[in-house]
Structures are given as C-alpha cells and as structure tokens.
Amino acid sequence: MAGTAGTPGTPRVLRAMNDRAALDLLLEHGPLSRTRIGKLTGLSKPTASQLLARLEAAGLVLAGGTTEGRPGPGARLYEVNPAAGYAAGLDVTPERILAAVADITGRTVGRYELPTPGRRPAVPVVQQVTDALDGAVKAAGLARDDVRRLVVGTPGAFDPGTGRLRYAAHLPGWHSPALLDDLAAALPMPVEYENDVNLAAVAEQRLGAARGHGDFVLLWNQDGLGAALVLGGRLHRGFTGGAGEVGFLPVPGTPLVRQVGRAGSGGFQELAGAQAVPKLARELGVPRVPAGRYTETAPELLSRAARAGLADRTDPTVPTVPTDDHPYRRLLQTYATRLATGLASLVSVLDPELVVLSGTALTSGGEPLRLLIQAELEELAAARPRLVVGDVTEDPVLRGALENALATTRDEVFDTLALR
C-alpha cells in the first residue's frame, strides 16, 4: 500500500491496510455501524472497534447518529469527517473559469464562476486563476491554505517537454512557457493540469457510465470536438499530451487540416463539430424557430429532434426516431453518419470495450442519436464497442477535476495513519 511504512505483512502495515479499507467503505456507503464495517471488511468486532477508535482519534472519522427502526438500542454510526481535507478544481474556457471546492467526501462546498471574455484579457492568467479559486474558497467558508490540491482543466494540453499549452489557440494568455511555474509560485498547494476532455472521462469512469470499464473512449462534442482514451484503466495522454485531439482527424467530405497549430477549419471538427449542426439543419429543411431564422444552438436543435423521435412511440422502453422522410430524422441520421465517420477510425485502431458520448452536442441527442450512431458504426468499423450516453451531464470537466484532486488528497490524508 502506497505510503505505508515497514515490511509487508507486519501488524503496522496490516492495520494501515484495514484502516484505509474502512475509510473507502465509508466513502462508498456513507455512515456505517461498527458491526457493518466488521462484516464488510471481515474483521472481528474488537478489531473493528480498535480500528474506528484509531480513525476517530486521528480526526478522520466522526461518530454520529444511531440506526433506527430495529428492536433494541440503536447502533452508533460512523462516517468520514468531511473537514479532514479539501480539494479544488477549475474548468477553464475562453469565456469563464468555473471553480469549486469539495470536502474529502466529494461534496461540493463552494463554487464560483469568473467571467473571462475577450481575446486580450486585461487581467493576467495567474490572477484569473487565483481570483476564481479564492471565490470558491470564500463561498465554502474556508481559507486558501485549507485546500490541499488543485486540478486545472483546460482545452488542449500542456506539453510535458516544453511546458507550453498546445492545441488551444482560442485560450488567450495561457501560452507562456513560464505559466506553470508562475502558477506554482502563486499558490500554496500542489497544482496539476489536465486536458478538459480527459477530465470528463475521469468523471464518467468514477461516477458515471464508464464505471467498471478499463478500456473506453469518450467522444466529446461541445465547444470543440475531442476524445479521451482510457486504456488498461489509465488515461492515455500521448508523448506531448495531445492524444485525443481528433478534431484535426482527416475525414471524407472536408478539407485536410494543414498547419494544425494555425488551422481554423477542416477535418472531423468541420464535419461533425457542434458548429456544423445549425448549417446542416438549414440544408435539411428542419422547421425554423419563430423568428424565421436559425438562432438555435446545436444542443437545442438536437434536443428538439430527439424529443420528436420519442413522441408517438407505443413502447416507452424502446427509443425510436421519426420516419425516414421527416426533417428531424434526416438531421439525426445525417449527423449520426458524420459522427460515426470519425469515430470509426478511433475504434478501428483502439478496439475499446465502450464508447461514451459526452458534451452537450451529443447528450442532447439522447437515445435516438445514440442508436443511429451505433448502427452506422457497426457498418463502418470491424470493432463493435457498445455506445452509451454519458451520465455526468452537469459540469463534467469540473467534476473530473475535483475527482482527480480528491483521489490524491485522500491518499495523502488517509495514509498519514501509516506513519503513526
């Protein structure tokens, strides 16, 4: 077990392993009695009592209420002390920085949104980050020093060789080679950086549709089109951190993307990015909004098409789509074909167990869009992974950042017992 002292098999190491197992069970199940913890861990009642006493003395566990609804006196319940540690996450886009602080149980205790519009921000990036973090910390009623770790999610990826942010020309102010050092100097806690789509995959793997899956692809389509690759249970980032930048992928029907660092069009992004949906709807004759022109976003259009597809079905357990000649059907079918065209290249190379569809341009299409993509993919690729719509639809990037930060924070906080 990481962070334990001594030789494997010694009483000290075994105690540390049992303590950590009990803490993990309390995180998973919530408040538990001593008897229940003993049954779940296989420990005797005296050993479970000693374990809980150690955890309570260390400030990691609180003794709370009692069980109710059973004959006899209620059993004392134990839970993880939420104040044992705090972690923070940031979701960065060109328009805003969304920050949150979570206690060690995973509950969000503070949240703050800092608008950052404009191509040339007057406020330096380091100050934007600290302002956003401080806003969330203040909302949680904490001080900055209370936060043990921060994970920052951005578009693109920081190249580990150069420290520069790549594949994110649309994020002004974030491309200085000194940025990571400047942020580390300005903040009192360790800071980690991760691609935003990778963090959405972390959220789905730990909380959502990819739980229990070690090999999957998350296809993200929102402000940009990207993918996260999880292989053998671990994120695959690539040599320069750019694995999954599928918006540049050459696909039939669009120009090749040349000089990728400066390219603004072409490839899979032009074919199937969210910005392609309003134009496609116009070409296919999807009914216009009352204003007489297309002002709807891709999520709004696809949601409307999906709702039409679910309207008059006879079996509510089987999602359907409109008839073939309906404009909504043509929109969903054409867009599904475009998405499957690029996705076929990914699954042909990686052969994943699962593909998770995430980002508002995909989740808004729901089951009707997923069914059509699945059918198209089965005709375009030899590999036939199962497709699912992502479960984590509320701020998945921020949730993934918090989950990453909490995983390390829990290791640091819980494993301190091994040093006692």
Report d(CA 158, CA 175) in Å as an integer.
9
Q: Enumerate residues 6+ apart whose C-beta is below 8 A from 193.
A: 151, 152, 153, 154, 158, 180
Percent of the chain clearing pLDDT 90 (strictly above): 65
Count Cβ atoms below 10 Å from residue 3 Cβ, excluding itself.
14
Q: Could you tell me which residue, 141 or 325, shows the higher pLDDT?
A: 141
pLDDT tens digits for 340-378? 999 999 999 999 999 999 999 999 999 999 999 999 999
**Does the domain spanning 11-80 belong to CATH 3.40.50.720?**
no
Return residue ranges of the chain for CATH 3.30.420.40.
84-201+397-411, 212-391
pLDDT tens digits for 128-176? 999 999 999 999 999 999 999 999 999 988 888 888 888 888 888 898 8
CATH homologous superfamily of domain 212-391? ATPase, nucleotide binding domain (3.30.420.40)
Return residue ranges of the chain for CATH 1.10.10.10.
11-80
Reported as a pLDDT band with limits 50, 70 and 90, residue 403 is very high
Angle at 348 between CA 343 and CA 352, to 5 degrees: 80
Reported as a pLDDT band with limits 50, 70 and 90, residue 107 is very high
pLDDT tens digits for 3-43? 444 445 677 788 888 899 999 999 999 999 999 999 998 98
pLDDT tens digits for 214-266? 999 999 999 889 999 999 999 999 998 889 999 989 999 888 877 766 656 78
Report d(CA 247, CA 266) in Å as an integer.
8
Count Cβ atoms below 10 Å from residue 322 Cβ, excluding itself.
21
Angle at 394 between CA 375 and CA 299, to 5 degrees: 50
Q: Is 11 exposed, middle or buried (0-12, 13-18, 19+ CB in 10 A)?
A: exposed
CATH homologous superfamily of domain 84-201+397-411? ATPase, nucleotide binding domain (3.30.420.40)
The amino acid at residue 213 is H
* DSSP code at position 226: E
pLDDT for position 4: 44
The amino acid at residue 299 is P
Q: Sheet holding 225-231: strands in order across?
A: 234-235, 225-231, 216-221, 354-358, 386-389
Report d(CA 385, CA 383) in Å as an integer.
6
pLDDT at 295 over 90: no
Reported as a pLDDT band with limits 50, 70 and 90, residue 68 is low
The answer to whether the pTM exceeds 0.75 is yes
pLDDT at 315 over 70: no
